[in-house]
């Protein structure tokens, strides 16, 4: 199957790009990926996306974007990409054994939460371990929870959790936070938030019980091991771009994010563009992802029309 444009990913960046390219009359195919709708589908309430003064459920927002793309003729391919070839034209991607070709590609595969890598963590995901406070905070009313991390994400998660939890303990391996000052001030002033400085998590208990009962902490200086009782653990130590598939095909930075040109969303391969969290290591917001999706679509349209994008 061949299209003018093939979009990889179905988050805000992917769907926005599809809306623009399809509406422009370009045949557009979009591969939904492992998580159709992206990470936003796990968010209970989105309050910072323009146009919704009272907020909107993340799943509903993404379904609306999908329906808008479908309205203009986007073909949705339910599946995930197992390989790509950006070295020959037309470009191609294999999805569940089927080959799809296009004259231009927009990569919008997003980023995924970074986990601690503990076996207990993996076994207790959904049983008290989470990487999304807005998704799961409601289930921890009047309970004690732990947030791991020291950046903006960790403090945002912790502050959100204070709406439900009895106590929120932020576990950080350093003695100072990396978050912006306003978030630090809010967290420090919140009576529900406490800090476990210079600590790392060795283990999450209790796998045998099938739920979180405590975390085992290690002091980074004294090596002292202690246990902190809690009912939930929220991991907020960052994200990694979903770009493993593209290594050797396009240029990535040292963290794995796709490098795009300064004044366009084009990669080092003419005709291949990137949008959203897969190329954004700074903002990681739904609205910025949608914005870059729009930009990538316009750039791809210009490319297909044979126009040179000035650098």
Which residues are identified as catalytic?
132, 135-136
Q: Pairing between strand 214-219 and 28-31? A: unpaired
Return the CA Rg of the chain: 21
Count of CB atoms within 10 A of residue 177's CB? Answer: 21
Structure tokens at 142: 């009047």
C-alpha atoms less than 13 angstroms from C-alpha of 76 in its C-beta half-sphere:
19
Q: Pairing between strand 193-196 and 167-171? A: parallel
Structure tokens at 298: 């316009």
CA distance 139 to 132: 12
Which H/E stretch holds residue 81?
A: strand 81-85
Q: How many residues does the chain have?
A: 311
Cis peptide before 206 (omega within 30 of 0): yes
Closest CA to 22 of 42, 44, 3, 41: 3
Count of CB atoms within 10 A of residue 287's CB? Answer: 14
Q: Pairing between strand 28-31 and 75-77? A: parallel
């Amino acid at each position: 199957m061949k299209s003018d444009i093939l979009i990889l990913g179905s988050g805000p960046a992917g769907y926005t790009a599809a809306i623009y390219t399809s509406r422009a009359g370009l045949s557009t195919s979009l591969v939904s990926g492992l998580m159709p709708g992206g990470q936003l589908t796990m968010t209970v309430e989105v309050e910072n996306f323009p146009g919704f003064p009272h907020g909107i459920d993340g799943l509903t927002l993404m379904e609306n974007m999908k329906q808008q793309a479908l309205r203009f003729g986007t073909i949705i391919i339910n599946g995930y990409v197992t390989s790509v070839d950006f070295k020959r034209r037309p470009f191609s991607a294999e999805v569940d054994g089927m080959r799809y070709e296009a004259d231009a590609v927009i990569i919008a595969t997003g980023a995924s939460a970074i986990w601690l890598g503990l076996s207990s963590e993996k076994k207790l995901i959904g049983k008290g371990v989470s990487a999304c406070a807005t998704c799961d905070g409601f289930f921890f009313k009047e309970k004690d929870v732990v947030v791991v991390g020291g950046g903006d994400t960790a403090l945002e998660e912790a502050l959100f959790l204070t709406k439900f939890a009895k106590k929120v303990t932020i576990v950080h391996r350093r003695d100072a936070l990396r978050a912006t000052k306003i978030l630090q001030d809010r967290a420090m002033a919140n009576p529900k938030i406490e800090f476990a400085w210079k600590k790392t998590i060795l283990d999450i208990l209790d796998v045998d019980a099938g739920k979180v009962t405590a975390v085992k902490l290690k002091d980074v200086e004294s090596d002292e091991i202690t246990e902190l009782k809690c009912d939930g653990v929220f991991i907020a130590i960052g994200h990694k771009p979903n770009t493993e598939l593209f290594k050797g095909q396009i240029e990535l930075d040292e963290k794995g994010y796709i490098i795009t040109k300064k004044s366009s969303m084009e990669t080092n391969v003419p005709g291949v563009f990137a949008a959203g969290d897969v190329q954004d290591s700074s903002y990681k917001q739904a609205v910025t992802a949608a914005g870059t999706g729009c930009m990538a679509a316009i750039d791809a349209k210009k490319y297909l029309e044979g126009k040179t994008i000035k650098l």
